[in-house]
Every structure is written in structure tokens, then in C-alpha cells.
Structure 1
Amino acid sequence: MTIKDIPYINVPPGTNGNGHSESFFEKIVNYKFSVLQLAYLFAAYLALKIIWNLIVYIYHKIRNSLLIKKAKLYRKNRDDQLQAFQIPTPSLDQDTLQKVLNEDVTSIKKLLSKGKVTSEDLVNIFAKRCQQFNPQLEAITHLKYEEAIMKAKECDKLRKEKSPLVQGLLFGIPISIKEIFDEKGYPSTVGCIQRLNYVPVEDGFIIQLLRKSGAIPLVRSNVPQCCFTFESVNRIYGRVKNPWDLTKMAGGSSGGEASIIASRLCPIGLGSDQGGSIRIPAAMCGIYGFKPTSGRCVINGLTHYSEAFDGQTINKACAGPMAKSMDDTILLFKALCDPNILKEFNISQIDPNLTILPIDENALNDSRKKRRFGYFKTLEVIDSCLAAQRAVDISIEKLRNLGHEVIEVEIPKQNEIIHAFLQNSFSDDMQNLKDILKGESFLDEYQMLDFLASIPNSMKKVLAFLMGALGEKRLKDHILADMNIDSHDYKAVVYQILQLRKEVLKVFDENKIEAIICPANATPALPHGSSADVADIVAYQFMWNILDFTCGVIPVTRVEEGEQHYENARVKDSISKKIDKYMRMKTEGLPIAVQVVAPPFKEEVCLNVMKIIDNGVQFYKQIEFPSLEGEEKELEIVEKD
């Protein structure tokens, strides 16, 4: 039989091949649409999509406005509570009061041991300053006055009884705690409104550890939304101000800590660092900050962000000290990792990733002559300003005057290091941060990152090509680093990071150096709201996080009148133009720090070199701490009392 022999079967309209009536769906599938009808359908689809997107947009707007209303109400109640505390003025003479405010913890401990002041005096002095000056600084999330004053009285009682507990490294000393560390009864919001309901029922381990040393947690400090920008601002507690100039950022994410210590609202503080979060604000506010190798200091007690965020291990957060002196920095470092203190806790309480090493006192107090160090004054990927380069010159001169050899070194594969950090942080289209926000919208500081996260990789490639064609190579590199990648490609990024660590370690080995001295940031503190435009300036910090090296910052000098620009930049793109614009906005007098970097687990070496430079510079022997509006009035009240 051929095809011609097959009889033609005429299927009546409205029936299928079996002679049965077509179903509703079959009629739709078999219907022959005209071109005009297809056009109408497409227009209807677009209209429905627009309407749906509009509904979703309105829903998110309403939800966000309700969250903001919730945050404002919470803050008002917090402010009322802060001002309601009845804090007495200690009956101390002016000289003793000034010592308490301006001296470091190491000196305050001597005042306590001599009976010149009590722990109760200390809590009242610093709590009263918190109450008076936080409205202009917005650095504090909570003042724990009632708990702190009870603990202070207990410390004073134990001191009179000559209890062995008095030997604790921080016994009777008020301390400030970054808001992302869990403390019983206080929310760990990470700057996100939806987390106001997250209130721990017990102290995190790191807080227990500090209490074991005798510390008195007095205040909790403000952070950025999601703790992932270097300007500390959120919708709950506001925007942290820099006490050197209230129009400038205090840095982040430990910006509240840096502002509190620099403005003398508390003598010492606990910060965390995953992308420069201790060192950026410490440098901008003119204090001391130290980031150990991940795993050297306790981090257990850092609040839970999300499973995905906490699950990444190639760039782990580190807890570290923020202080007014190198002696205090070393003191708090010891309190966080001293095996003699840690052995008093159960193994299950301690972070399983913690590497417990003895404190190397020989390295901490190394006074050898003719040691060998490296330095660099600027990076190829982002030039440091003239003031930052001068700070490095000052530091290496101090080392050379002591007989040490200091040679210039170059960090290899700088672009790859920066690219690796950005890929590790943002290659998930910011889903990690969205998990923490739980529906709250991003602040303007995340505007560019949020935009890049909202477009597909194909559009990112087009945008990157256009930026390259316009001569914006750095913007092109940033866009390509924000490409969404799968788990296979992410593992390749992790491998690359491990290889980069080896490359940089070779710089130490081949040059036979113990540490590197370099700029802390590319610039001083810049105006509020500028962080989204000039994120490159903190590459000097976050590069060491992805490499997991030990590093710390110390204040060295201040910006001079003729250094208020960025004309020395070798790359003349839009980023450099914006930095130059912000540098010209009255940056004279702002503090400038240097950074000391040592290989992983060489914390004692790093601290030792920091102290050697600091002894030569003596920043706060030459310069006073910044004064706040109303400070003179406060002193008059104390004298009258």
C-alpha cells in the first residue's frame, strides 16, 4: 500500500482524531490565531506583567515603610531609655578625670590598683559621656548602665577583699562590644530591622571569655546594614559620625566602636574584621585596631547571619581589639586567645576552628637591632593619597633610625587579589545579604551592587564591555567580578585564592622580611554617603582578609593643607575624579594611619612592629583626642560638683 492508497479522513470541526469533542485545552492549542489576535495577546501579557510588577513594587514599598516605622519607634524607645538613666557624677578632681578620659586602660588599671578611682567611677564617667554625646555621634545601640554599675560595684568589693579575680587582664574595666556579638537580652540586628526580634537568651562565648577576664560590658556599638559596607549606617540606629569631623564617615563595619573609643565614650572595644572592618574605622578615627589570622582569636559568639553566609570558610570573620594604645591592643589580644584563660572552659564551648597557641612573649617584646622589614607606599590598582604615603615614610624612617633595614617590596598579582575578594563576596548576586535583610530594601550604599545583582550575566558582560570602551577599566573589572557563578566555578575561585596566598608569602621569604609597612587606607575619612562611589580606597584592607594575613593599624599623622587632593593618582578615571572631589572637602587635620602586615599566625611579630613604630611616632603625645560639641560644658559641671 502506498501513501496514495490511504483514504483521507475528514475530521469534523470541534472534534479530535477519535471523533470525540475537543476539550477546552485542545481547542486553545489547535486554535489558529490571526496576527492581530497574537498582537493583542502579547499586549495583554505585557500589561499583566507590568501590573504584577507594580503590585509587587507597591507591596515591597508598603512593607519597607512599615519596617522603617517599626525601626523609628524602636529607636525612640531606645533614646528615651538612654536619657532616663540617672547617672551620678563621680567626685573626682579634674586631673584624675582627665587621666581617666585620656589615658589608656593600662594606665587606668594603675589608678584602680592605687585606689585613685573605682570601677563604679569608671562606669559612671563613661556612661555619662555616652548619654551626653551619643545623640550627635549615633555610635551606640544600647547603654547597659544598670547591669554595668552592678558589676562595677561587685568588682570594687572584690578588690577590697583582695580576691585573686582582681588579676584578670580586664578586671573592672568598662568595654564596648560591637553589636554583632551576642549578648543576653540585647538584639543582634546586624543593622537589619527584621532582626530586632532576634534577642539572644545567653551571652555568646566571646562575651563569656571577656567577663572571665573581669571586663564590664558597658555599651553596644553601631554597625552598617548587613555589616558589609565601610560606612556604618542603618535604619535603626542611624549614621555613625567621625568625632574628628562630624561630616565625615567613621568607617565600617566596626564604625561605632571606632567612634566610641576616639570620642572617649569607652576606653577599649571589641570589633570584628572580614573585609577591613576593624582597621578601616580604626584608621579613619585615629585609634588602634588589630586583625589576627582567622582561627587565632576566639570568634565563637559572633551572631548567626544565615546558613549560606556563615557557611563560607575561605574568608572568615576575625574578632580583634580596638583601643587607644598599643599596650591596650596587646592586652585585649591576650584576653581573646591566652591558653591559660581558654583552658578554664569546656572544649564544646570553644570554637572548633580555633588554633590555640601560647602567647609568644619573646616575639611580643623583641628588641633586636638590625631586623629586616618591607614596605610599599601605593598599589598599582589604586594609588594612596599623598598623606598616606607620607605616613609610610614617617614609619620607615623611625625603623631605620633604630638600625633596622627597610626595603621596598611589590605585592604580586594585585588585580587578581582584589578580583578574588569581590568574587568571593558578591558572586551569589547578593543572596547572602538578602537572606539577612528578610525583605528590607538595601540602603543607597548598596545601590550599584544591588543593580548589578538584578541583571543577568549577559547584561553584565555588555555593561563591562561598554565601561572598558569608555576607559573605565576598574569599573569593568568590578562588574566582571560580580558575575553570578556556580559551585564548580566557585571552587576554582577558592583554589585561586589559595595560590595567591602562596605568591604573597614568597614576598616575605624571598626578601627575608618579618613584616610589611603600608598605607592603612588610600585616603582619610571621606564625607558621608561617598562609600558607594569610592569602594576601591579600602582595597589596602580587604586584600589581607582574602589572603588571611595578620595585620593592624596605628595612627601616625594628619592630613596637611596641601594634601587635600588626589592629583597624584596615576589612573585618571571616574573613580579617581570622585576621590579627588571628596579629598577637597575639608580633609585637613583628619588622622592618617599606617598598616603593619605579617604572615599568618605571626600575631606577636605584627604587634611588636606596630609598637616599635608607635613608640617612635607617639601620635597621642603630640595630638589631643578630638573634642565634641558641649565637652567644655561637661567639664564645667564636673568642676562645679
Structure 2
Amino acid sequence: DDDYLEKFPFLGVPITVKEAFCLHGMPNTSGLVNRRNVIATSDATVVSRLKQAGAIPLGMTNCSELCMWYESSNRVYGRTNNPYDLQRIAGGSSGGEGSVLAAACSVIGVGSDIGGSIRMPAFFNGIFGHKPTTGVVPNDGQFPNAQGVRTSFLCTGPMCRYAEDLEPMLRVMAGPGVNKLKLDEKVSLEKIKFLCMDHDGGSIFVSPVDKEILQAQKKVVEHLESDLGVQVQRVAIHKMKYSFQIWSAMMSSADDDGQEAQLFTDLLGDHGKPVWPLWELVKWLVGMSSHTLPAIALGLTEKLMKLNPGGNAKLVSMGKSLQEEMEALLGRDGVLLYPSHPTIAPRHNSPICMPFNFAYTAIFNVLGLPVTQCPLGLSSEGLPLGIQLVAASHNDHLTLAVARYLEKAFGGWVLPGKA
């Protein structure tokens, strides 16, 4: 009956969980060789809530080493492939989720996102993903656990093939935190203030946006204007050009209590002896390292970031200014259309040649804004296209509503191999 369905909204629904989360009796390595024998003895809060809502866990899915790279490959489980082209990446760090959901191995999934780790895999695999407003969904029960300012940047959220599944998943995962949102508010799409940005303004660190991604975004604008009768406003936000620098500086900054962010090299050592990245690079070159090259490179980058505290402080200030600017621009009724990534799913290993392209998603973590990743069909190569839908804090209901609308207009998820 209705009461039973209200109590168990996911009764019998198969679910997969990113391996970084605790699922009782299952591995919890986060791709770190030092943790290959770690077995979870409890459930992460969001996993527990979904199980209590009736979901049935099928298993765990792969991620990048310590969830800090956008290709899901590690020395514990190996590499995750994209179901649309096995030579392409599935994204990261929730790449396993993106891959199994796109391939219809699972129905719904749990991901986490500190730089785009839900949205990039959702984009590369042609599914839906949602990074909620900061502080709505609990992050506890995953490794690595965020500390200091990063607790405000890490978000746990839903991933799925169908837009209509995002909201009920978010309700269950948020628990009491759902009261911070306005999910019961009816959304009138014609009254939304739509904004559009084609690119970040030309960052020297990031690739230019692919023409097919821009064409897909243009089609969205044209459809909104012709079907809803709205006027999509093109905007240029100068500070977005520094997205990568702002994200990096804010990720390494101290919180209001002066607590420093945990060093990545400490995490690589799994709270034992910190890893020395230069020595680890030498070991990697002769095939003796237990770490991936991106993880070692991140450790080196982290060391370099510490050499310019003055510059970092200016970037943190710029980030806070950008946050105020974005909140004012979006207001109570705004939704920004923004590219999900500069390129469609890259080939395996190629992200190391364009390491900062994740800035297109990462900037919204440090701004604390809700973002829904929405698929927009396939490219000429048969690879997923998509778009990010961004709103002001606690306006998740707006991006979710627009995602449902665009799914009907552009077809949503496409079965791999069908095109």
C-alpha cells in the first residue's frame, strides 16, 4: 500500500556503492594498496539509509586512488572502462559507479564529489548525477574522510540513469538534512531565470571546450527559448577563468579554527609514515611503486602549493568573492548552464596530459552550490554529451526540475551499443 511504499521507497531496488564508502562486510580500500585487507565493519550513513529504504546492495564499484583523480584506476582493482568505448575513461573518482549504471548493471548508485567525482563520471557515461548543496547529505563512513575546510567541499550524492530517481534518492540520503532544501516546492520552468556560459573565459591550464559540447549546449538554449518562451541570458564571469587556482588554494587552506587540510602524502601512507613523492616517482619509473602516477603527481603538486602562501591567500579571497557573486547572480530563481568538462570522455591515460580539466566541475565544490549533471545524447563518435545545471545554495529543486525537463527533450540515457 501507499504507507508501505512511503516507508520503503526503494524496496527491492538494486544499488551499487562506490568502494570509498563503508558497506558492512565489504572492502573499503579507496584503491590504496596499504588498505587491500580492510573490510568495513559498519555502513556509511547514506548506505544505511538507503538499505533501510529497501535498497539491496549488489556490490562495490571502483574509484581512483584515494578518490583524487578523474580516471578510475588503481593498483588494487585495476582500470575501469567506459561502456560506450572500452578505450575511453569512465571518469573519476566515482568512475565505477558511472560505468556500471550506464551499462545497466545496477539501477541506482552512491557517489562522492570533491572536485567533480560524481559529475565527471556521470558526464562521461551519459547518466545523471547530483552534487547537493554543501552540508545537506552526511559524508561520514567513507575513506578518506574529509578534514578541515574540505568537510565543506566534499559532497555525497546520487547517481542514476533516470532523472526522476535523483530526488527520491536525495531525500533518503539527506535524512533530516532534506529540510534545508525546498524539494516540495512546485517549480514553474517558465519562471526560472536561465543563464548560460560557454566556457571558463580561457584558462591557460584547461583545454578549450570541444565544439560538439558547445553545440549540445546551444541546442539546450534554443530549446528552452522556443519551448518555454524564456530568454536565456549569456553571462561572462571573469573569476571563473581562475577556477583551478581557486579550487587548489581553497582545498589547501586552513579552516576558521586554524586546522590545516590533511596532506595527501599522509593519506597515501594511510596515516602511517607519509609518502615522499619524489622518491615514490623514482620507484614508479622502475616499476616498484604501489601508487599510481596521478597520485604521486598530486603529492608533488601539493608540496609546490605550500611554497606560495601569499598567492594562495589572494586566491582564497577571490574564491569567497566569486561565491558571493554567484549567489547574487543566481538568486532565488536562477539556473546556470555550464559545460561539464572541456572534452568528451578521453582515452585511457590521457588525463595526465590535461590534468586540470576537472576545474569545470571542481569550482562548484568550493562555492558550495548544487549542481545536476544531465546527459544530452551522444557525439559523432558515439560518446555521451551533457551539461551542468547550477543553482544557488539550497535551490537543488530547480536543477533537478530542469534535469527532468531536459531528459524528456533530449532523451536522457542511451543504452551503450544502441546508437
Matched with 2:70 is: 230
User: Which residue of structure 2 aligns with residue 393 of structure 1?
Assistant: 218
Residues 409 and 507 of structure 1 are in contact (CA less than 8 Å); yes or no, is this contact kept in structure 2? no
Query: What is the aligned length?
Result: 390
**Residues 262 and 626 in structure 1, CA contact (< 8 A), matched pair in contact too:** no
Q: 2:360 aligns with which of 528, 535, 540?
A: 540
Give the Cα separation in 1 of the matches to 2:115 and 2:302.
20
Q: Measure the CA separation in 2 of the matches of 1:202 and 1:165.
A: 26
Query: Structure 1 residue 384 and structure 2 residue 384: aligned?
Result: no
Q: Secondary structure at the match of 1:296?
A: coil
Aligned twin of 1:525:
345
1:484 matches 2:310: no
CA pair 327-163 structure 1, distance change in 2 beyond 3 A:
closer
Give the one of 324, 335, 340 matched to 1:502: 324
Question: Which residue, 384, 387, 398 being the options, matches 1:594?
Answer: 387
Q: Which residue of 1 aligns with 2:265?
A: 434
What is the Cα deviation at residue 219 of structure 1? 1.2
Q: Percent identity, aligned pairs only?
A: 28
Give 2:41's aligned amino acid: V
- Report the Cα distance in structure 2 between the residues aligned to 1:280 and 1:315, rounded to whole angstroms: 20
Larger radius of gyration: 1
**Structure 2 Cα separation of the partners of residues 508 and 207 of structure 1:** 32
The C-alpha deviation readout for 1:34-85, integer Å capped at 9, x for no partner, is xxxxxxxxxxxxxxxxxxxxxxxxxxxxxxxxxxxxxxxxxxxxxxxxxxxx
Say which structure is richer in strand.
2
What is the TM-score of this pair, normalised by structure 1? 0.57
- Structure 2 partner of 1:369: 190
Shift of residue 196, structure 1, vs aligned partner: 2.3
Tell me which protein shows more helix as a share of its residues: 1
Give the Cα separation in 2 of the matches to 1:195 and 1:496.
38
Equivalent pair of 2:101/2:161 in contact (CA under 8 Å) = yes
CA offsets, 1:574-618, max 9 Å, x none?
xxxxxxxxxxxxxx1111101100011111111111212222112
Within a 5 Å distance, the mapping from 1:157-168 to structure 2 comes to: 164=4, 167-168=7-8
Match 1:288 to one of 110, 122, 128: 128
Stretches of structure 1 that go unaligned for 5 or more consecutive residues are 1-158, 340-353, 458-481, 561-587, 628-641
Distance 1:237 1:199 in 2: 15
Higher relative contact order (CA 8 A, sep 6+): 2
- 3-state SS, counterpart of residue 594 of structure 1: strand
Q: What's 1:259 paired with?
A: 99
Paired residues of 1:283 and 1:520 also in contact (CA < 8 A): yes
* Letter in structure 1 aligned against 2:415: E
Query: Given that residues 245 and 315 in structure 2 are in contact (C-alpha distance below 8 angstroms), is that contact kept between their aligned partners in structure 1?
Result: no
Q: 1:514 aligns with which of 321, 334, 344?
A: 334
User: Quick one: distance in 1 between partners of 2:44 and 2:318?
Assistant: 34
The question of 1:297 aligning with 2:137 is answered yes
Cα distance in 2 between the residues matched to 1:452 and 1:331: 39
* Cα distance, 1:513 vs structure 2: 5.5
Call closer, same or farther: CA 1:229–1:596 in 2, change over 3 Å. Answer: same
Deviation string, structure 1 residues 153-207 (Cα, Å, up to 9, x no partner): xxxxxx9xx9937741111111000111112222211110111233232222222
Deviation at 1:338, TM superposition (A): 4.5
Letter of the 1:283 partner, please give it: F
Q: How does 1:409-420 map to 2 (within 5 A)?
A: 409-420=235-246
State the AA in 2 paired with 1:393.
K
SS of alignment partner, residue 199 of structure 1: coil
- Aligned counterparts, 1:53-452, within 5 A: 164=4, 167-305=7-145, 309-313=146-150, 315-339=152-176, 356-357=179-180, 359-363=182-186, 366-380=187-201, 381=203, 382=206, 383-400=208-225, 401-425=227-251, 432-438=263-269, 439=275, 441-446=290-295, 448-452=297-301
Change (3 A) 1:280 1:419: same
**What is the letter of the counterpart of residue 266 of structure 2?**
D
CA contact under 8 A between 1:232 and 1:240: conserved in structure 2? yes
Runs of 5+ unmatched residues, structure 2: 255-259, 270-274, 276-288
Name the residue aligned to 1:580.
none
Deviations 1:478-535 (A, max 9, x none): xxxx34356x9866654443222112223325xx861011211111001100111112
Q: Which amino acid aligns with 1:319?
A: T
For residues 356 and 262 of structure 1, the distance between their equivalents in structure 2, rounded to whole angstroms, comes to: 31
8 Å Cα contact 1:165-1:214 kept in structure 2: no
Contact 1:296 1:355 in 2 (8 A): yes
Q: Distance in 2 between matches of 1:426 and 1:529?
A: 26
For 1:615 and 1:604, the matched residues in 2 are separated by 17
**Partners of 2:3 and 2:400 in 1: CA distance:** 31
